[in-house]
Amino acid sequence: MKLQYLIIMLASTFLLGNTRSAAQLTNTLPKNEFGLTIIDNGIDFGASTAQDSLKQMVAIDNYIVHLATDFVYATTKNFTHQKLYSKPKAYLRLAAAKALLAVANYLEIRGLGILIYDAYRPYSVTKTMWQIVPDDRYAANPAKGSGHNRGIAVDLTLYDLQTGLPLPMPTAFDDFTEKAHHNYMQLDSVVLTNRQLLRTAMEQQGFKALDTEWWHYYLPNATYFELLDIDFKQMKRLAK
């Protein structure tokens, strides 16, 4: 009995120690030049997700059957004219992935699917974008970090499940003009309807719209999710 009691006590101590380590993670990790904590390795990521399973990163195509992707930042055909990352995959935190699944289900009965331009994005990519376009209307300031770096923001549009073609929207992706703003109304009625349908579907599941980009949505309370700088190769091993 004494041995069993000792084993139980040791196990309890180990578990409590791990819980404390996870809860204190953001206070113990080093901070970058902006005073931000950036998780860039699997060990610290594991300690973070141990706090809350909704922080786990997941591959969205494991959740959404008709998911389509067009990763423009993996090409030179984007506003930076640079290839910002390679071999990407659409990842989000479990909380965001579940919400997006509900969006997809809502759209599917209307004959529509989701096409993703960008989801999780390593923090180092955000720094590169800011160097090229230092305007927080269109690029995230690395002094704050991006919802993409936290895995709770997604850039997307709608496409027709039968034709596979994207629906007409106000602009192309990453168009930095007033036409991309949600309050821009000088558009064809079909385009206005499509933009509103996307917004309605996303907001019904708790996503928030970015005023200046019709394609960008994010979950509120973003700072609950730590900033990540884990490349896609490593994320493939860490995500569910």
Please give the positions annotated as active site: 213
For residue 102, what are the CA distances in angstroms to 107, 207, 237? 9, 11, 26
Q: Can you give the C-alpha Rg of the chain in angstroms? A: 20
155 marked as binding residue: yes
Looking at residue 113, the DSSP 8-state letter turns out to be E
At what angle are helices 42-49 and 2-23 packed, to 10 degrees? 100
118 marked as binding residue: no
What the block records as the tokens of 33 is 């030049």
Residues found in the chain = 240
Instruction: Write the CB contacts of 68 (distance below 8 Å, at least 6 apart in sequence).
Output: 113, 114, 115, 116, 159, 164
Q: Binding site, residues?
A: 148, 155, 216
Q: Binding site for Zn(2+), residues?
A: 148, 155, 216
